[in-house]
Amino acid sequence: SGNSGGPLFDMNGDVIGINTAILGRSGSIGIGFSIPSNSAKIVIDQLIEFGETKRGWLGVRIQEVTQEIADIEKLDKPRGALVASVAENSPSEKAGIKSGDIILEFNGEPINEMKELPMIVAKTAVGKNVEVKIWRDKKEISKTVLLGRLETSEDFKASKEPEPTLKETEIENLKITVRKLNDEDIKTRGLPNQTTGLVITKIANDSPLIKSLAVNSIIIEAQKRKVRNENDLNQAIKEVMSSNQKTILLAIYNTENQRRYIGVKLD
C-alpha cells in the first residue's frame, strides 16, 4: 500500500527519485524519503543488462580519517578513507593494500570523505582493473585492483568475553589497565590465530580513551607496530612522548570485533 516504490516527480513532471518511506503520525502525511534517480539508474541499467545487480567489491573495512590521524600520517588535511582491515583473499589483499593505508582516490575519483568510497566502488564495473591511490608511510603510491563482485557475508560477531585470568598491568600514560590477549580470547571472539595484543580491563574516567574505547577492546598495534605485551605499548608511548608529535596511533579491535585505528593525544 502507499506510494513506496513509486516515482517522485519534480514540478516539470520529470522523475527525480523513487519513494521509499514516509515519516509521520498518520502514515499518509509527513516527511517523505526517496532514493535519488541517479542511484536508481545504475541499478536499473544492471537489471536490464544482466537481470540482476552486480556491485563492485574491494574487500576492506574503512573508517573516517580524523584530524589526529591526519596529523600522525603527515597528511595535509583529513581526507580519504582509512583502511581498518582487509578481507582475506579479497581484491584489496591481492593488490597489496594493507591495514593503515589511506585511500585517497579510486578509479580517478578523489575520496574527500570516507562515506564516498563505498558508493564509488559499488557503481564501478565488476572485473575492471582500477587504479587506487593510497597514502602509506607518509607518501602517495598507486595500486591496481581487479575489482571483485560484492557477495553476501556476515559481519564479525561479538561474543561473550572470557573472564580475565592473567596478570593485569596499568598503562599509566593512557590511564587504562590491560591484560595480555590469550588463546581463549582468540577462540571465543573468532580472531585470526596469530593475533597478539592487550585486552583493556579498566578505563579511568580521565583516560584519553574514555570516549573512543570500551572495556574488552583490544590494542593490537601502536604506531603501526605489533603490540605483544605491555612493554611494546609503553615503548611506543615513550617514543611518541619524546617527539614533538604527542599523538599516538593505535590499532584496536572494538567490542564488536571490528578492527579500527584511533589517534590518541598524550599528556
Under the banding of pLDDT at 50, 70 and 90, the label for residue 40 is confident
pLDDT of residue 152: 39
Residue 168 pLDDT greater than 50, yes or no: yes
- Can you name the residues that pair with 134 across neighbouring β-strands? 103, 141
DSSP state letter for 158: P
Provide the sign of the torsion angle of the four alpha carbons 224, 71, 97, 182, taken in this order.
Answer: positive
Q: How far is CA 231 from CA 127, 236, 237, 240, in A?
A: 45, 9, 10, 14
Residue 69 host element (H or E): helix 67-72
Phi/psi for 193 (5° steps) reads: -60, -35
What is the Cα–Cα distance from 78 to 68, expressed in whole angstroms? 9
pLDDT of residue 166: 64
Under the banding of pLDDT at 50, 70 and 90, the label for residue 2 is low
Residue 225 pLDDT greater than 90, yes or no: yes
DSSP 196-212: --EEEEEE-TT-TTTTT
Residue 165 pLDDT greater than 90, yes or no: no
**CA angle (243 as vertex; 241, 249 as ends), nearest 5:** 65
Residue 120 · residue 39 · CB < 8 Å: no
The structural domains of the chain, ordered by start, are: 7-50 (no CATH), 56-149 (2.30.42.10), 168-265 (2.30.42.10)
Q: How far is CA 66 from the centre of its chain?
A: 12
pLDDT of residue 159: 38
Q: Is 14 exposed, middle or buried (0-12, 13-18, 19+ CB in 10 A)?
A: exposed
C-alpha cell of 232? 611494546
Under the banding of pLDDT at 50, 70 and 90, the label for residue 61 is very high
Under the banding of pLDDT at 50, 70 and 90, the label for residue 100 is very high
CB atoms within 10 A of CB 243: 9
pLDDT of residue 99: 93
C-alpha cell of 218? 583490544
CB atoms within 10 A of CB 153: 7
